[in-house]
Structure 1
Amino acid sequence: MEKPLILVTNDDGINAPGIRELIDIMNEIGEVYVVAPDKPQSGMGHAVTIHSTIRAEKMYTENDTRREWACSGTPVDCVKLAIDQLLPRKPDICVSGINHGSNSSINVIYSGTMSAAIEGGIEGIPSVGFSLCDFSYTANFKAARRHIKSICENILQYGLPEGIVLNVNIPKAEEKDIKGIKICRQAVAHWDEEFDRRIDPKGKTYYWMTGNWCNTDKGDDTDEWALNNNYISIVPTQYDLTAYHFIEKIKQWNFKIE
């Protein structure tokens, strides 16, 4: 049987340890193509490049079997370019990550990792984003290796409904301490952000954003609960942002202009 064609991307850059680990895992499953940013693109969300050119440089020699491109654009650019120009056909799965740091709860909105996966979903490709709750460059990405492989094999076997992308977060833990997988909802949490005002050597003002994580959700069915209890969290995420429950209520508003 033909091996599945797998598109691998991320937002930390093509040389980040997380994506190198993910590429290695995906090579056990299928035929891997990698199109990822040539530099870190964390926090880019669903940004696309429209005011400048995009370049994609091959990262392998003629005799090398790897199929990898370093793209000058955003994570979403990488997926778009891969599908339209670089891959021989539409991939069977789009896998983004492994991100250095959590993308649980509201972080999914800002995440370049998840936006790349969501773009795959928009293109009709079963897609998943993986994140590890450890920002360290030397984080233990191997701890969840078996789980990552299993999740991707299940996606390939069962598929995903149209409009659904999986957001997978992995706790910072040794393999023996990971208790398993929880299917969750997104926790109601947010960042309490502040901007530190500073003066540069030329006397000009600049700002440095800081923040504290605030989880107000006490439910035991959330991604935050799962991660805090050493479970891998899977949140089925949709890119249709319509608040369907509010449609009928807003129809009752008075939009009549006197």
Structure 2
Amino acid sequence: MSHTPITPDVESLFTRSDHYHNSHLIKPDPILESVQQNTKDKGIDYEIAVSPAQGKFLHLLLLSIGAKRVLEVGSLGGYSAIWMARALPDDGELVALELEPVHAQAIQENVAHAGLSSKIKVIVGPAHQSMKSLHPTQPFDLAFIDADKQNNTNYFIEAKRLVKRGGVIIVDNVGRKGRLADPDNHEASVEGTRELLRYIKDDAEVEGTTIHTVGEKGFDGFLFAFRK
């Protein structure tokens, strides 16, 4: 099976459509705009962060389930963390795991600028190791996994341990422009995501589905799993 290319015209359509919907549903936000700029100014590849529409989806999802505790695996510059932390009550907490010290510094600065330092805790280091060291007295309501795709399964297994029964695990970037369905594609990120799907297929502790998405981030998707 060969991969069907997505032309620049189609990519432009995705982006134009996203911007049109956002103009009606997402209000201008100077704080988030400054977070984006500060992240870019530090030389961090902001293009791999979630889009505004995806950020608001996470925000609304947390509101809808009444979440108080969130685990984020891979936080980049803190953009998605801020979207999610804004949905938490005053006594809520988001724990953000980030490998790169320069990213962690950007997160701290951006979180402080957003007035959310009391809600967001940043742990620096390899995410899998950091997850294994976590033994919270209260489980997390939701885990959002958006780190290196080769370790998706390792992250997912630890997230199951850390998320409460009835909680949610979301793994970002599992659509990968349809490349998982191409048997000739063996990119590390593709293979890592395939491994995750194979693991979940036989996992009696969760129910999951993939939602494919198009927009300013192109053709991708996320996995939504319910911890039974």
State if a TM-score over 0.5 links the two structures: no
Give the TM bin, normalised by the shorter chain.
0.3 to 0.5
Q: TM-score, normalised by structure 2?
A: 0.32
* Greater share of helix: 2
- Rg comparison, structure with higher value: 1
TM-score for both structures, normalised by structure 1: 0.30
